[in-house]
Amino acid sequence: MPFSERVQQDIAAAGYETPTPIQAECIPLALSGRDVIGLAQTGTGKTAAFALPIIERMAHRVELGALVLAPTRELAQQIHGVFEALGRSSGIRAAIVVGGVPMDEDYKALRSWPNVLVATPGRLIDHLNSRSVVLDEIETFVVDEADRMHDMGFIPQIRRIIEALPSERQTLMFTATMPDDVERIARRHMRQPERVQVGRTAPVERAVQQLFAVGEREKTRLLLDLLRGTDGRVLVFVRTKRGVDRLARAVSGRHRRVARLHSDRAQPERDEAMAGFREGRYRILIATDIAARGIDVADIEHVINYDFPRSAEDYLHRIGRTARLAASGRATSFVTRAERGTLASLERLVGTKLALLTANA
């Protein structure tokens, strides 16, 4: 690909050798200035698919030229890390502004004269209102995890942000599914976008999936049985913040290396939980759907849906945390009688029947 020598050096230093399918299709289009809608499953390498063209375009630019929106702090931090790694030799100055951290930290980041800004929508609106961020010179605008933005109610904020952008710009949108509100934004605010779809909306092919029919009272015992059967990293999804805390207490009695992640925890606590999980200090991470996107840990061996997700799309994003890129993994889900309807909609989405085992199988 026609990257500058400095970008090539950082690509090599990051260990990239062959582009993933979404990178191979999106990068040339983005480099040519086209608007792009990229549809791909989680874990396919899409962050680099938009980061590398931005780095090539923004290298040594003085003013702010690129804006990337992400739905959660964790995903924004992951994206910021990719820009720092792949733009190290190219003069890229990436700043991050997200909710949950003191505004003073944002002001310090903005005083570094970034040419790339990574942000969550709510915090960026705060800066637009105070005029501490001006978007008049943005050339490239990226919306990552657009369907998650929709799920979290961020569509009004995205419309407000778009109003502050120049009409002459490149827009890149990445999503796993295309809700109606997201499609309307794409049609209204993008210029003849090239649609790139990699694969179909289906669970990660390398993830071995198993589903257990359980009663609510059987879940914790079954979870502890599964945890005894694995030595690798395990990510456990629970529906509520209180449920995360309660289950973490129960699991900690048998397993010491347990961390919790949900939105009521302070940002330093969330950062410490994520760093500890990534570095291996914690083997088990118990989390709400805040972790369904934005966790880029390459070797999660097992994802367990302690509470079955509310939608088929959420199921795909959760199990996408394992079997990322070239790895393999396992995804286990507990399904109560009340959740059978969601299971039926999942089977319709993926076009296949999923076997439901009994808890003592």
Domain boundaries, the chain: 5-197, 207-358
Burial of 128 (0-12, 13-18, 19+ CB in 10 A): middle
pLDDT of residue 312: 73
pLDDT of residue 132: 94
CATH number of 5-197: 3.40.50.300
Provide block-wise average pLDDT over 10 residues at a time, the chain (361 residues). Answer: 93 91 94 93 84 93 94 90 94 92 92 94 95 95 90 88 96 86 87 83 64 92 91 91 94 88 85 87 89 64 90 76 60 89 77 74 46
pLDDT of residue 295: 61
- Which one-letter DSSP state was computed for residue 134? -
Distance CA 329, CA 115 (A): 38
pLDDT of residue 292: 55
What's the gap between Cα 291 and its chain centre? Answer: 8
Tokens read off for 212: 């257990």
DSSP string covering 40-84 = --TTS-HHHHHHHHHHHHHTT--S--EEEE-SSHHHHHHHHHHHH
pLDDT of residue 175: 87
SS3 for 95? strand
SS3 for 302? strand
pLDDT of residue 293: 56
Note if the pTM is more than 0.75.
no
pLDDT of residue 325: 47
Tens of pLDDT, residue by residue over 132-178, are 999 999 999 999 988 888 877 898 999 999 999 999 999 999 988 77
pLDDT of residue 7: 95
Q: Name the CATH architecture for the domain at 207-358.
A: 3-Layer(aba) Sandwich (3.40)
Q: Matching CATH topology for 5-197 and 207-358?
A: yes
